[in-house]
Structure 1
């Protein structure tokens, strides 16, 4: 396999490193035991977290041992946000979220063989720690002048919100995690986002002071989009990994709708295709952008990774059926509902004339425009062409007893939910 440091650099995943040459040697001498931490500050991970999970997967596949840390302790505190204090969640909620996040991370890692992954929880070594022991054994190794110089802390100190001692202490807790994992498992590398660099290096500094050992930190870049909007966000909000929060259909559509300018970076960061395959997809995007070959490849690969092959097949079938390339009636209710929720849609008590529905849902500007669309042969209900201007859908036309799919021309879609 290609040297893992070179591989991460080619994919744009190595933004910061404590010592790149030393890290390269550690991997060459390996295997390296490394960890990445995830705090349960929400009931699900999101696309930003997926960068870290897939980076762990890459490093493990290069022959190294991953430790996936879900922070039952740090999740009770929360790392400092750029603008304000986090809302502290109760221990029962955090405990539940720990289980959810573990279940999302585990499918990406291999728990068999000589470099088998291990999941850990920092509550195991902090719950019994007294305040006195924490201050004497750990806190004494930190200098306040260095702590306030960390970017996240400095930003908050210079804001109107300020920062509490609770969040100020977060970097000590994360550093203690690295020290504990070094002692328990010989962990010598921590990975994370570059926005966490201050917390990552707090851990390397603590181990240097306490153990005198050389350890490493690796920071991945924050992903930016060409149009200036935040990565992992859509009009409906954050793209979560939990299918209850972001449906597999919406997840698939996020990648399918990626800007051509973002595709090369997304392919390298998220795809496990070879360099040759990625280069070919980049070429296709340049030569035939309208085909969206790279977006389709990304959408299929990532939806399969996160939600499985069966869900991906259902989503692809739904995408085709909506545009008349498959049978809408063959789609299961959950997949159809998820797909239609992403379209302009209205709720009505009972079926109404097609021209009324077209106008009300916004596919046309008026009923007279709807009549023209019908007359010109461009109006469809459930992929069937509407030929009569006074047509009214019947109960038997409703998909799963509640949905109508309206289409104007080839690409303009909307949905009607019948609630009566």
Structure 2
């Protein structure tokens, strides 16, 4: 399947400036495509994966991708899709963010060899541009009427927040990036999310005016749920690609819990599984949605892509633990992530000293039983567990040797009723 047909089947072409011309261009030989990423944080998040995977798909089809980190445009912030002006970042924070995003890009794209991907920062060519030079060389090629007609500008002008001159200028900067990359790198294609259509077409128009060149634009739909909400966000915040911000387990669980109405679209949009496997998963969703086979495939594929084999193994092991797998050699942080919604109690570490803490008392302290008698009956009936190991002795004493991590015991009653005891 050729690239454009594959993108079409996956539903990844929302808009294209010249579909026939783009098809002919790609058929003529290897091309260069770029997508910009403004470094608003030190890590990319799930919402960025649509564009990261777009670059990856082009590279796997034999083309050269450019991941452009917006060290310059990030100083302003893109108004597209925003209801109010962004907070401006300090130069120091922006530099950290650029470094973080650049490091993550290397996980997804191949930067080796003469045709390897390029990782560029637009601050490199914007740093020495004086204000007057930019107005003379670039600004004069921008009809204000055209800019005012762009949806990203018009919607903000009509909003209560309005639009500052700083954000109004963002379109010029992004448009000039396209011109610079066309001139210096032979880049004739820019892609992005559907909210970038105005900026992309502005770059195409600027390329025609400044270079006399035909450039091409391509947008993908935004990653949203079936009811229109942006994906990649939870009550705890964004789902990041950095393991320091979102653990492999939490990342894996996010995809495991994707709704049936959304999982097939995610498989098309974000993975590289082929049409045959997709059709099989689609049939399984229709015939037996309770098995969640598609969600398991999505979670495994995405976690392996972002966190590697080790991260996937860790996430799957943590999932097994939540459903009764034996617990050992974990950290407080890992246990905290696995059992984030489980009630916990803090006790003095001294209670684990000497003869230790009576397991019956531990069950009561954790709130799993209301009395010593109930705790004894639970143990006798085989329904009490410490670190997912069944308690068989009602006189057992718990010591520091029984801790599942640095300070935590995991207690369970029955199949699913968990509680944590933290010894401080």
Q: TM-score, normalised by structure 1?
A: 0.91
Is the CA contact (8 Å cut-off) linking 1:345 and 1:417 kept in structure 2?
no
Is the CA contact (8 Å cut-off) linking 2:332 and 2:407 kept in structure 1?
no
Is the CA contact (8 Å cut-off) linking 1:315 and 1:335 kept in structure 2?
no
The offset of 1:51, in angstroms, is: 1.0
2:341 aligns to what? Answer: 343
2:234 aligns to what? Answer: 234
Q: Deviations over 1:36-56 (max 9, x none)?
A: 100111111100101110111
Q: TM-score, normalised by structure 2?
A: 0.90
The offset of 1:347, in angstroms, is: 4.2
Counterpart Cα distance in 2 of 1:349 and 1:206: 66
Asked if 1:418 is matched to 2:416, the reply is no
Is the CA contact (8 Å cut-off) linking 1:110 and 1:117 kept in structure 2?
yes
Counterpart Cα distance in 1 of 2:367 and 2:171: 51
Is the CA contact (8 Å cut-off) linking 2:69 and 2:122 kept in structure 1?
yes
Structural mapping, 1:12-411, within 5 Å: 12-80=11-79, 82-113=82-113, 115-226=115-226, 229-325=229-325, 327-329=326-328, 331-333=329-331, 336-337=334-335, 339-340=337-338, 342-350=340-348, 371=375, 377-386=382-391, 393-411=398-416
Residue ranges of structure 2 left out of the alignment (5+ in a row) = 352-356
Q: Could you say what secondary structure the match of 1:162 adopts?
A: coil
| Distance change (3 Å), C-alpha of 1:167 and 1:382 | same
| Distance change (3 Å), C-alpha of 1:32 and 1:394 | same
Is the CA contact (8 Å cut-off) linking 1:322 and 1:328 kept in structure 2?
no
The offset of 1:225, in angstroms, is: 1.1
Counterpart Cα distance in 2 of 1:112 and 1:334: 39
Counterpart Cα distance in 2 of 1:106 and 1:301: 18
Is the CA contact (8 Å cut-off) linking 1:78 and 1:167 kept in structure 2?
yes
Counterpart Cα distance in 1 of 2:290 and 2:410: 25
Counterpart Cα distance in 2 of 1:408 and 1:207: 67
The number of equivalent residue pairs is 415
Counterpart Cα distance in 1 of 2:371 and 2:159: 54
Q: Deviations over 1:57-103 (max 9, x none)?
A: 01110010111100110011110152111111111111111111000
Q: Could you say what secondary structure the match of 1:9 adopts?
A: helix
| Distance change (3 Å), C-alpha of 1:213 and 1:318 | same
The offset of 1:359, in angstroms, is: 7.6
| Distance change (3 Å), C-alpha of 1:23 and 1:394 | same
Counterpart Cα distance in 2 of 1:359 and 1:141: 75
Is the CA contact (8 Å cut-off) linking 1:382 and 1:404 kept in structure 2?
yes
Counterpart Cα distance in 1 of 2:110 and 2:118: 9
Counterpart Cα distance in 1 of 2:109 and 2:252: 22
Counterpart Cα distance in 2 of 1:95 and 1:161: 28
The offset of 1:361, in angstroms, is: 6.6
Counterpart Cα distance in 2 of 1:319 and 1:7: 33
Is the CA contact (8 Å cut-off) linking 1:343 and 1:414 kept in structure 2?
no
Q: Could you say what secondary structure the match of 1:148 adopts?
A: helix
The offset of 1:200, in angstroms, is: 1.0
Q: Deviations over 1:96-154 (max 9, x none)?
A: 11111000112211123453111111001111001111111101111112212222221
Counterpart Cα distance in 1 of 2:336 and 2:309: 17
Counterpart Cα distance in 2 of 1:156 and 1:211: 30
Counterpart Cα distance in 2 of 1:368 and 1:402: 24
The offset of 1:390, in angstroms, is: 8.8
| Distance change (3 Å), C-alpha of 1:198 and 1:285 | same
